[in-house]
């Protein structure tokens, strides 16, 4: 599921855009100022729909910073129709530019197009509880904060995520542990450490479920 941030100070426009994008299955958030945008955007933000004129400044500055820090694609919204305004928007790193008033359907299609170009194959596995496995970096984030996992802990979580809704027995999980002396008990130790890092309630684990006498399974839904 892609994460999209709407930066727009006109509430009615933002509400309409959010409604259309949510219908497409996107995870959408809305802020109204540059300050809120800079606090909200992070490495897990897949696209920003950005109004050019905001109460506390110019959206072009946000665009430039977002692109330089995260290489996140930006679609600019503006009431300015001049050619120079468009040139300036693209010069600051915008991927697309839409003038107001606009069709929400057209914006939705442009969002799809930009995401397809910029994120041709999303290299992540996204789980419930805002857990994301970043496959290229072999890292994990929860609520956009990196969770420090050992290589073996990551490998076990990756195996469980790749077998969502299925029981994974200990023998299979042992194969993902980089140790010639790994045993069933070794798997249990790594799972315990994973739970300490990922679960909200250790007495009632929801992310990794135990199937007594057999092994473990993922207890949350996989989005992608």
pLDDT digits (tens, 9 = 90+) for 125-145: 889 888 999 887 889 999 888
Higher pLDDT, 89 or 224: 89
The helix or strand, by DSSP H or E, that contains position 34, with its residue range, turns out to be helix 34-40
Contact 140, 149 (CB under 8 A): yes
Say if strands 47-51 and 3-7 run parallel, antiparallel, or are unpaired.
parallel
Round to whole Å and give the CA distance between 34 and 156. Answer: 40
Give me the pLDDT at residue 157, please. 95
Structure tokens that stand for 43 in this block: 């490495």
Higher pLDDT, 69 or 143: 143
CA distances from 164 to 45, 167, 176, 210, 217 (A): 24, 8, 16, 14, 7
Top CATH class of 3-118 equals: alpha beta
Q: For the structural domain made of 124-218, what CATH number should be given?
A: 1.10.10.10
Higher pLDDT, 202 or 179: 202
The model's confidence at residue 96, banded by pLDDT at 50, 70 and 90, is very high
Give me the pLDDT at residue 116, please. 83
Give me the pLDDT at residue 120, please. 57
* pLDDT tens per residue, range 54-68: 988 888 888 888 887
For the chain, the structural domain boundaries read 3-118, 124-218
pTM over 0.75: no
Concatenated DSSP letters for 102-137? --HHHHHHHHHHHHHHH-SS--EEEETTTEEEETTT
* pLDDT tens per residue, range 150-175: 999 999 999 999 888 789 998 888 88
Evaluate if residue 191 carries a pLDDT over 90: yes
Q: How many residues does the chain have?
A: 224
């Amino acid at each position: 599921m892609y994460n999209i941030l709407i930066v727009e100070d006109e509430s009615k426009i933002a509400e309409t855009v959010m409604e259309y994008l949510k219908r497409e299955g996107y995870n959408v958030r809305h802020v109204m100022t540059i300050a809120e945008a800079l606090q909200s955007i992070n490495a897990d933000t897949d696209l920003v729909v950005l109004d050019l004129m905001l109460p506390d400044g110019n959206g072009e500055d946000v665009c430039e910073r977002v692109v330089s820090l995260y290489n996140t694609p930006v679609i600019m919204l503006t009431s300015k129709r001049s050619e120079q305004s468009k040139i300036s928007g693209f010069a600051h790193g915008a991927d697309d530019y839409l003038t107001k008033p606009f069709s929400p359907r057209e914006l939705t299609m442009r969002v799809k197009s930009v995401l397809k170009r910029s994120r041709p194959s999303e290299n992540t596995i996204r789980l419930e509880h805002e857990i994301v496995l970043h496959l290229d970096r072999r890292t994990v984030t929860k609520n956009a904060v990196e969770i420090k996992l050992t290589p073996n802990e990551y490998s076990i979580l990756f195996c469980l995520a790749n077998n969502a809704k299925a029981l994974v027995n200990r023998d299979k999980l042992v194969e993902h542990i980089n140790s010639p002396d790994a045993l069933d008990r070794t798997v249990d130790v790594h799972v315990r450490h994973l739970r300490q890092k990922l679960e909200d309630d250790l007495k009632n684990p929801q992310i990794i479920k135990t199937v007594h006498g057999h092994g473990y399974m993922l207890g949350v839904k996989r989005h992608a």
